[in-house]
Chain A
Amino acid sequence: MITNVNVKTNVKTNVKTPAKTNARVRLLFQLFWVFLRIGPVTFGGGYAMIPMIEREISTKRQWLGEEEMDEILSLAGSAPGGVGVNAAAFIGYRLGGVLGAISAIAGITIPTFIIVCLLSSVYAQLADEPKVAAAMKGIHGAVIALILIAAYRMAKNAIFDKTTAVTAMIVLVVLLISGMNPIYMIAIGLIIGFVFLQVKQLFGLQVKTEKEKECLDYSDEESNYPEYYI
């Protein structure tokens, strides 16, 4: 932990000597390159990137220890924004400061940006083909399945008592019925936990704020990443 902080400050303070400058430029380029290669091969959203990132950063290059990696990844999951982008920013910042974060984010964003723009313009040309339209309807089904799995993974980690179950149900029903801006739901969610726990404590009820660790089933790979769907 501490050693990594030192590495970072060393790089920063010694930046003036040419050798150090070279090393720093090389690190920034390496960060860019690692994340450039992770982005285009991961399908199915940010979650799919996590094992790839772990392998590249801590197993292959040993830039960060496994423990720190776990810590970073779970923080990347709880911060707002896409998990993949957050993880890239965290790792980039830990290794190379602000410029490191920017290189890593540029690496993870640029290839997918290009692919998405290309796909979009190809699709715009072919959208009137009946076969393409039919394939698109099929893919629609696949994307629904991917979203359902994301919801299930999130629920597995989020819902463990009556309050959390009722909250999730109410949010779903309110969104389905009203045209309310979902951003407000997040804002309300930030307050809900605080209010409920205060009330519960007022009545002297037993309070736990997280699913107990021993309840988690660590046998399958997924539950090793309990917080990545937040």
Chain B
Amino acid sequence: MIWNLFITFVKIGLLSFGGGYAIIPMIQHEAMTGGWLSEMEFQEVVSIAGMSPGPVATNSATLIGYRVAGMGGAIASTLGMILPSLILIIVISIFFYRVRNSKWMKTVFYGLRPVITGLIAYAAIHFGFMGKDYSFLSWQTLGTLIIVFVALYGLVKNKLHPLTIIVASGILGVVFF
């Protein structure tokens, strides 16, 4: 199982353009098809990864590894997530300036960027409103939507610190639900 976790996260790490939230759908797909976590558990994992400091991608890997196979799993998943980055970065560093502004790179990113945009948007929708608690026009959905809008307003308009938003949302959650 630990080897399985490692290999899966190496695979995800290799193609995780977009880092952070863009890889949530990939992790979810692997966790579901592998039967590692239920939908509910996955939602908890993403919430905890999002509220923890540090990179979301490695946080999620650590959490899933920990849930599935304890401390050994956490270490294996985190290493799996980091290793491809480390190796690729060293390779890129060696070809640093040749790669940066080449036409080939620009062509690739022309198609890759909108795909990543789609992936992140999908992560937001899927993570937001696909659990079994959520149906159209339930108190759950309404409460969550209110918190989403308040959080967006605070982050964009008032430039509040993400930690402030997370704590405030937790308090709003206690009030609402």
A149 at the interface (CB under 8 A from B): yes
The answer on a CB contact under 8 Å between A147 and B90 is: no
B-facing residues in A121-165 (Cβ within 8 Å): 123, 127, 131, 133-151, 154-155, 157-159, 163-165
Q: Which one, A71, A137, A182, contacts B29 given CB within 8 A?
A: A182
Given the interface pairs A93-B89, A101-B89, A151-B121, the reply to whether A187 lies near B46 with Cβ below 8 Å is: no
> For residue A170, which residues in chain B have a CB less than 8 angstroms away from its CB?
118
> For residue A230, which residues in chain B have a CB less than 8 angstroms away from its CB?
17-19, 109, 112-113, 116
B1 at the interface (CB under 8 A from A): no
> For residue B117, which residues in chain A have a CB less than 8 angstroms away from its CB?
151, 154-155, 158-159, 168, 171
The answer on a CB contact under 8 Å between A158 and B85 is: no
Residue of A nearest to B85 (CB): A81
Residue of B nearest to A133 (CB): B177
Q: Which one, A47, A79, A165, A192, contacts B111 given CB within 8 A?
A: A192
Q: How far is the CB of A192 from chain B (nearest CB, A)?
A: 3
Q: Which one, B124, B125, B151, B173, contacts A134 given CB within 8 A?
A: B173
The answer on a CB contact under 8 Å between A138 and B84 is: no
The answer on a CB contact under 8 Å between B124 and A148 is: yes
Report the bound CA distance from A191 to B109 in whole Å: 10
| Chain A interface bracket (under 10, 10 to 19, 20 to 34, 35 or more) | 35 or more
Given the interface pairs A42-B53, A112-B59, the reply to whether A190 lies near B124 with Cβ below 8 Å is: no
Q: Which one, A109, A131, A185, contacts B115 given CB within 8 A?
A: A185
The answer on a CB contact under 8 Å between A45 and B55 is: yes
A49 at the interface (CB under 8 A from B): yes
Q: How far is the CB of B51 from chain A (nearest CB, A)?
A: 5
> For residue B100, which residues in chain A have a CB less than 8 angstroms away from its CB?
71, 75
| Residue in A41, A76, A175, A182 whose Cβ sees the most chain B Cβ within 10 Å | A182
10 contacts between A and B (CB under 8 A): A42-B53, A71-B100, A109-B58, A112-B54, A131-B174, A138-B174, A139-B173, A172-B121, A183-B11, A193-B107
Q: Which residues of B contact A (CB under 8 A)?
A: 11-22, 24-26, 29, 33, 43-44, 46-59, 62-63, 66-67, 71, 74, 78, 81-82, 84-86, 88-90, 92-93, 96, 100, 103, 105-128, 140, 143-148, 150-152, 155-156, 161-163, 165-166, 168-174, 176-177
Identify 14 new A-B residue pairs, CB closer than 8 A, beyond the known A85-B58, A108-B54. A45-B19, A81-B88, A82-B55, A112-B52, A113-B62, A135-B173, A137-B144, A137-B177, A141-B151, A146-B162, A165-B114, A175-B126, A192-B111, A209-B103
Q: Which residues of A contact B (CB under 8 A)?
A: 39-49, 71, 75-86, 89-90, 93-94, 98, 101-102, 105, 108-109, 111-113, 115-117, 119-120, 123, 127, 131, 133-151, 154-155, 157-159, 163-165, 167-172, 175-176, 179, 181-183, 185-197, 209-210, 229-230
